[in-house]
């Protein structure tokens, strides 16, 4: 992640990477809007179960309970939200790397490695929850092929999970750079961009959680 | 308005800037926006010719009733690939050639914001284009139309490998367009020279900016529509499986939410080019510049609210039909404004009827015809008669051939001297124009009548006695004439590149920044970043503008002599692009390729991101 030409003249005074990431996030919005709209269009239109919020009894008499486990996903949502907090602290730590740190608290808050680790770990925990959710759904009889709900649910949340995975890889890359040469205020923009992406993925999850899990 | 004394025609000329390296490697590893623009130009012209030959085969088959030149299957593949090629591999990349070559020059920048990403976009386009084009030679090409309506394109109804090429190929090309769009948006927002405010930007740059925003917002939608189709075809999901309760209109909605903005993605760059050519050849500033900007933005914005006018025939109900009819009619207003402003630009100008000017005027005339037939089928009752007939084929060829292609030809004649340092031959250019203009009308005008008489689109042959024979024969003759006119263009292009008259910096006495530097421009574009104080710095600029223009006219200086830091050449974007395409190929060949491609992709991407863009400053 070397700085491309931060010293060049720019019309806005902003670094070009900052503008590019916002353009990228704009297109990502449309990506998720398409996925979420499709989910909503197909909501309640599955011909066979399992269903997200309702009991389903198939012609053979087997009964399937509502498949979404809202308490567990609430916990994973909380974990992802906390990862955004850790990300904020990681960025602050990188930006303030050169400030003198006197107390133990200041040293903890000022450790970019700690907060990058925290963010990556919380993100990975979220992915763990998702892996657990996916496998338990498959065990309960819902796969991506089962019905419209299965197709749209797994594709939507899977796309989100893939974005979290990419974010975790990005964070680990930043960590590797931090261990190799230390991240300082000069790298703040690179961390800032990663943080923007991470927060975006987090915000998208809030929408997905509301639309898929809370909306009956 | 005072035309200034900046030396123009006939200044000393060097065929290639001295600091450029030559040889194949220098092109494979280039990150220079001008070279990438030239690569786009040659590649897209090649695809334009391939797409054109596909059209000729179609016309040969339809020349008379009950001809058996092509089988029905082959005909399906040809019309599908004709549409796909012309839209995604010819017109969009021809526009991209101009985005690349011109935007940095017009805004006074040394390159785009992300030169290596720019190279990546090109290589993805090239590999994706080859991927989607090769199957036609094995009669395995996509065969469900360029719009690929699902459920027709699901595995159940299109079991072969044909549609796989289409789904994956479009996915690859989408990556190229999106990467380029992020790059150009950033470039236009952030790399404008001092004083180049938004409302001083040349109209081509403005229209390009609108197009990039459209790409950023429209392409993700088709990406998702294609992901659904890909999952349906490869992993057995149910997005388009009607038996599982899927909505048969889901694809149509998603596709046209992309597809209608795509229409403006195709036409707005041509509008931009014409807005450069007409002021230069009328020797007058563009008439109503601010309104031209706003109407361009309005066209782009309204373009997202009209998609369902492609779907009047599916029975959406009176309210939806009315809403989309009204929004569609509304688009006619900003478009009409543009037409009148071009006429206003020419009015009372001392017009030079160069080949470029002729093509630009051709656009104004022919696009208007296409626009008017567009307004006709904005009305649902009329559209129900016209939908899926040759009337619609006539309409969109007037806007895409009469509009986009005419505009792009205008751009090529106008900017050829900037790109190569030499002028294209004017007499040949005029022959090309007139032949093209006549042949174009001969080909597409009769289709209005054939369509009104009920001739449906996408039929591979027809019976005599329905009143279609003569119209089809005329259309086919027109198509053959288009081959001749295009051949004249190609001959002129290559001949002029070697032997054309030396152009000098500003052969048209145009007013915008790209004409203030030598032709072809040096690697670094501007020896000193220009100071801009007006819309046409070379026409109405003050002493500050002139000073930077004089410095920038110097030839023969290398970047080193001027202490200008340029990015390193690198092959890595090409490798990343190649790895990505190999990964996608794995879906239809052997799964192992997916892992090989992914491994190379990740490795080369890290190598790219961790290597410096350019030498350190001292």
- Whether B85 and B146 have beta carbons less than 8 Å apart is answered as no
Q: Which residues from chain A sit within 8 angstroms of residue B237, using beta carbons? A: 144-145, 150-151, 154-155
What's CA B116's distance to the chain center, in Å?
Answer: 21
Query: Is A91 part of a structural domain of the chain?
Result: yes
Q: What is the pLDDT of residues B208-252, one digit of tens each?
A: 999 999 999 999 999 999 999 999 999 999 999 999 999 999 999
CA distance B18 to B526: 15
pLDDT at A1: 37
CA distance B380 to B311: 9
Verify whether residue B342 is a known catalytic residue: no
CA distance B359 to B436: 9
Which residue is catalytic, options B187, B208, B335, B485? Answer: B335
Verify whether residue B237 is a known catalytic residue: no
Query: Is B56 part of a structural domain of the chain?
Result: yes
Supply the range of the domain harboring residue A87: 71-214
Which residue is catalytic, options B177, B404, B420, B548? Answer: B177
Mutation to test the B interface, candidates A30, A159, A165, most B Cβ within 10 Å: A30
Q: What is the pLDDT of residues A126-137, one digit of tens each?
A: 999 999 999 999
Provide mean pLDDT across the span B65-76. 95
Closest CA to B146 of B93, B232, B207, B77: B77
Contact B114 A20 (CB under 8 A): yes
Query: Is A45 part of a structural domain of the chain?
Result: no
Contact B237 A11 (CB under 8 A): no
pLDDT at B18: 42
Residues A176-188: b if buried by 16+ CB within 10 A, e if exposed: ebbeeeebeeebb
pLDDT at B7: 41
Name the domain count of chain B. 1
Query: Is A49 part of a structural domain of the chain?
Result: no
- Helix (H/G/I), strand (E/B), else coil: B507: coil
> Would you tell me how many other CB atoms lie within 10 Å of the CB of residue B221?
25
CA distance B538 to B540: 6
pLDDT at B596: 94
pLDDT at B617: 62
Closest CA to A88 of A115, A126, A120: A115
Distances (CA, A) of B437 to B50, B85, B370: 20, 22, 14
Query: Is A62 part of a structural domain of the chain?
Result: no
Mutation to test the A interface, candidates B235, B238, B300, B611, most A Cβ within 10 Å: B238
Contact B114 A152 (CB under 8 A): no
> Would you tell me how many other CB atoms lie within 10 Å of the CB of residue A213?
16
Q: What is the pLDDT of residues A188-205, one digit of tens each?
A: 999 999 999 999 999 999
Query: Is B578 part of a structural domain of the chain?
Result: no
CA distance B191 to B111: 8
- Helix (H/G/I), strand (E/B), else coil: A80: helix
Strands A56-57 and A63-64: antiparallel
- Number of A/B CB contacts below 8 angstroms equals 124
B102: phi then psi, degrees, rounded to nearest 5: -95, -40
Verify whether residue B82 is a known catalytic residue: yes
- Rg of chain B, C-alpha, whole Å: 24
Q: What angle do CA B355, B358, B360 make, to 5 degrees?
A: 110
Q: Which residues from chain B sit within 8 angstroms of residue A26, using beta carbons? A: 216-217
Q: What is the CATH number of the domain that holds A193?
A: 1.20.120.80
pLDDT at B20: 67
Query: Is A10 part of a structural domain of the chain?
Result: no
- Whether B501 and B525 have beta carbons less than 8 Å apart is answered as no
Q: What is the pLDDT of residues B569-593, one digit of tens each?
A: 999 999 999 999 999 999 888 889 9
What residues contact residue B17 under an 8 Å CB cut-off, 6+ apart?
B518, B520, B521, B522, B523, B555
pLDDT at B615: 84
Among chain A residues, CA nearest to B193: A11
Query: Is B596 part of a structural domain of the chain?
Result: no
Which residue of B220, B231, B617 is in closest CB contact with A31?
Answer: B220
Which residue of A12, A26, A45 is in closest CB contact with B217?
Answer: A26
- Whether B399 and B369 have beta carbons less than 8 Å apart is answered as no
Distances (CA, A) of B265 to B4, B7, B133, B299: 36, 37, 22, 10
Query: Is B457 part of a structural domain of the chain?
Result: yes
CA distance B576 to B553: 37
Verify whether residue B338 is a known catalytic residue: yes
pLDDT at A191: 96
Contact B189 A1 (CB under 8 A): no
Q: Which residues from chain B sit within 8 angstroms of residue A31, using beta carbons? A: 220, 223-224
- Helix (H/G/I), strand (E/B), else coil: B134: helix
What residues contact residue A88 under an 8 Å CB cut-off, 6+ apart?
A195
Tokens at B38, concatenated: 């030239």
Q: Which residues from chain A sit within 8 angstroms of residue B187, using beta carbons? A: 16
Query: Is A124 part of a structural domain of the chain?
Result: yes
Query: Is B17 part of a structural domain of the chain?
Result: no
Q: What is the pLDDT of residues B600-617, one digit of tens each?
A: 999 999 999 999 888 876
Verify whether residue B414 is a known catalytic residue: no
Q: What angle do CA B313, B319, B322 make, to 5 degrees?
A: 70
Query: Is B488 part of a structural domain of the chain?
Result: yes
Is the pLDDT score of B310 beyond 80? yes
Contact B196 A28 (CB under 8 A): no
Query: Is A136 part of a structural domain of the chain?
Result: yes
In terms of Cβ atoms closer than 10 Å to its own Cβ (0-12, 13-18, 19+), residue A66 is middle
- Helix (H/G/I), strand (E/B), else coil: B389: strand
CA distance A45 to A29: 25
CA distance B433 to B500: 18
Contact B529 A155 (CB under 8 A): no
Contact B239 A38 (CB under 8 A): yes
Spell out, as residue ranges, where chain A has pLDDT lower than 70.
1-7
Name the domain count of chain A. 1
CA distance B375 to B328: 8
Contact A34 B237 (CB under 8 A): no
What residues contact residue A131 under an 8 Å CB cut-off, 6+ apart?
none
pLDDT at A7: 54
Provide mean pLDDT across the span B376-391. 93
pLDDT at A216: 84
Verify whether residue B480 is a known catalytic residue: no
Which residue is catalytic, options B158, B176, B354, B387? Answer: B176
Mutation to test the A interface, candidates B113, B180, B261, most A Cβ within 10 Å: B113
Residue A19 touches partner B, C-beta closer than 8 Å:
yes
Residue A148 touches partner B, C-beta closer than 8 Å:
yes
Which residues share a beta bridge with B422?
A: B502
In terms of Cβ atoms closer than 10 Å to its own Cβ (0-12, 13-18, 19+), residue B377 is buried
Contact A34 B221 (CB under 8 A): yes
Q: What is the CATH number of the domain that holds B55?
A: 1.20.210.10
Which residue is catalytic, options B59, B82, B110, B572? Answer: B82
> Would you tell me how many other CB atoms lie within 10 Å of the CB of residue B243?
9
Query: Is B611 part of a structural domain of the chain?
Result: no
pLDDT-based confidence at B460, cuts 50/70/90?
Answer: very high
Query: Is B8 part of a structural domain of the chain?
Result: no
State chain B's mean pLDDT as an integer: 93
- The alpha carbon of residue A139 is apart from the nearest alpha carbon of chain B, in Å, by 18
Distances (CA, A) of B574 to A11, A203, B578, B595: 30, 34, 6, 18
Is the pLDDT score of B195 beyond 80? yes
Among chain A residues, CA nearest to B251: A38
pLDDT at A5: 43
CA distance B118 to B121: 5
pLDDT at B4: 40
- The alpha carbon of residue B409 is apart from the nearest alpha carbon of chain A, in Å, by 31
CA distance B6 to B539: 9
Supply the range of the domain harboring residue B319: 24-569
> Would you tell me how many other CB atoms lie within 10 Å of the CB of residue B24?
7
Residue A7 touches partner B, C-beta closer than 8 Å:
yes
The size of chain B, in residues, is: 618
- Whether B529 and B195 have beta carbons less than 8 Å apart is answered as no
Contact A11 B191 (CB under 8 A): yes
Q: Which residues from chain A sit within 8 angstroms of residue B224, using beta carbons? A: 31, 34-35, 38
CA distance B433 to B366: 13
Mutation to test the A interface, candidates B194, B233, B237, B570, most A Cβ within 10 Å: B237
Is the pLDDT score of B546 beyond 50? yes
């Amino acid at each position: 992640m070397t700085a491309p030409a931060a010293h060049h003249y720019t019309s806005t005074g902003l670094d070009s990477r900052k503008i590019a990431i916002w353009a990228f996030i704009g297109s990502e919005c449309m990506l998720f809007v398409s996925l979420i709209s499709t989910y909503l269009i197909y909501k309640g239109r599955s011909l066979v179960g399992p269903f997200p919020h309702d009991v389903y009894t198939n012609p053979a008499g087997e009964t399937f309970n509502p498949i979404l486990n809202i308490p567990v996903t609430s916990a994973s949502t909380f974990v992802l939200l906390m990862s955004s907090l850790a990300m904020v602290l990681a960025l602050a730590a990188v930006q303030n790397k050169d400030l003198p740190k006197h107390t133990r608290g200041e040293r903890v808050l000022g450790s970019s490695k700690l907060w990058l680790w925290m963010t990556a770990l919380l993100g990975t925990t979220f992915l763990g929850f998702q892996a657990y959710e996916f496998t338990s759904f498959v065990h309960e009889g819902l796969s991506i092929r089962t019905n419209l709900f299965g197709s749209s649910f797994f594709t939507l949340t899977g796309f989100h999970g893939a974005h979290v995975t990419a974010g975790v890889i990005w964070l680990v890359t930043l960590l590797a750079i931090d261990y190799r040469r230390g991240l300082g205020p000069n790298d703040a923009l690179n961390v800032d961009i990663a943080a923007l992406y991470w927060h975006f993925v987090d915000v998208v999850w809030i929408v997905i959680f509301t639309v898929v899990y809370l909306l009956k | 308005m005072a035309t200034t004394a900046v030396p123009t025609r006939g200044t000393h000329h060097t065929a290639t800037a001295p600091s450029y390296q030559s040889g194949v490697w220098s092109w494979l590893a280039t990150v220079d926006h001008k070279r990438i623009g030239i690569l786009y130009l040659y590649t897209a012209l090649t695809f334009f010719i391939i797409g054109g030959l596909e059209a000729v085969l179609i016309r040969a088959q339809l020349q008379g009733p009950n001809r058996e030149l092509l089988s029905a299957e082959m005909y399906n593949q040809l019309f599908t690939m004709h549409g796909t090629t012309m839209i995604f591999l010819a017109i969009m990349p021809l526009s991209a050639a101009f985005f690349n070559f011109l935007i940095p020059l017009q805004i006074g920048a040394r390159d785009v914001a992300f030169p290596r990403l720019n190279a990546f976009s090109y290589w993805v386009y090239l590999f994706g284009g080859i991927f989607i084009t090769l199957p036609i030679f094995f009669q395995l090409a996509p065969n469900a139309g360029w719009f690929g309506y699902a459920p027709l394109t699901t595995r159940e109804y299109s079991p072969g490998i044909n549609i796989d090429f289409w789904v994956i190929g479009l996915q690859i090309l989408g990556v190229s367009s999106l990467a380029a769009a992020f790059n150009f948006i950033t470039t236009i927002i952030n790399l404008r020279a001092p004083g180049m405010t938004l409302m001083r930007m040349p109209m081509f740059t403005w229209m390009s900016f609108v197009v990039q925003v459209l790409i950023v917002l429209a392409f993700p939608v088709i990406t998702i529509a294609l992901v659904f189709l890909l999952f349906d075809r490869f992993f057995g999901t149910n997005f388009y499986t009607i038996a599982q309760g899927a909505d048969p209109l889901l694809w149509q909605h998603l596709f046209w939410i992309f597809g209608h903005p795509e229409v403006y993605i195709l036409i707005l760059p041509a509008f931009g080019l014409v807005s450069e050519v007409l002021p230069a050849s009328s020797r007058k500033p563009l008439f109503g510049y601010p309104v031209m900007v706003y109407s361009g933005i309005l066209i782009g914005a309204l373009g997202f609210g009209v998609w369902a006018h492609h779907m009047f025939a599916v029975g959406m109900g009176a309210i939806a039909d009315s809403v989309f009819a009204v929004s569609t009619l509304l688009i006619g207003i900003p478009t009409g404004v543009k037409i009148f402003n071009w006429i206003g630009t020419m009015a009372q100008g001392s017009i030079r009827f160069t080949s470029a000017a002729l093509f630009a005027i051709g656009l104004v005339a022919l696009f208007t015809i296409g626009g008017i037939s567009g307004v006709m089928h904005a009305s649902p009752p009329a559209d129900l008669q016209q939908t899926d007939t040759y009337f619609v084929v006539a309409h969109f060829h007037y806007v895409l051939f009469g509009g986009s292609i005419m505009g792009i030809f205008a751009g090529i004649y106008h900017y050829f001297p900037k790109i190569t340092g030499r002028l294209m031959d004017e007499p040949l250019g005029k022959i090309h124009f007139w032949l093209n203009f006549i042949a174009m009308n001969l080909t597409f005008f009769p289709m209005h009548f054939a369509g009104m008489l009920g001739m449906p689109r996408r039929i591979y042959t027809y019976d005599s006695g329905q009143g279609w024979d003569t119209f089809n024969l005329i259309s086919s003759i027109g198509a053959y004439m288009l081959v001749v006119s295009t051949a004249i263009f190609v001959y002129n292009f290559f001949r002029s590149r070697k032997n054309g008259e030396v152009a000098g910096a500003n052969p048209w006495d145009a007013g915008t920044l790209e004409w203030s530097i030598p032709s072809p421009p040096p690697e670094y574009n501007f020896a000193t970043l220009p100071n801009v104080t007006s819309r046409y710095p070379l026409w109405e600029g003050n002493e500050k503008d002139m000073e930077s223009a004089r410095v920038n006219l110097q030839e023969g200086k290398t970047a080193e002599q001027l202490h200008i830091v340029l990015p390193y050449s690198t092959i890595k974007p090409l490798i990343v692009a190649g790895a990505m395409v190999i990964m996608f190929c794995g879906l239809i060949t052997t799964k192992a390729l997916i892992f090989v491609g992914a491994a190379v992709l990740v490795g080369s991407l890290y190598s790219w991101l961790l290597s410096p863009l350019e030498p350190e400053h001292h």
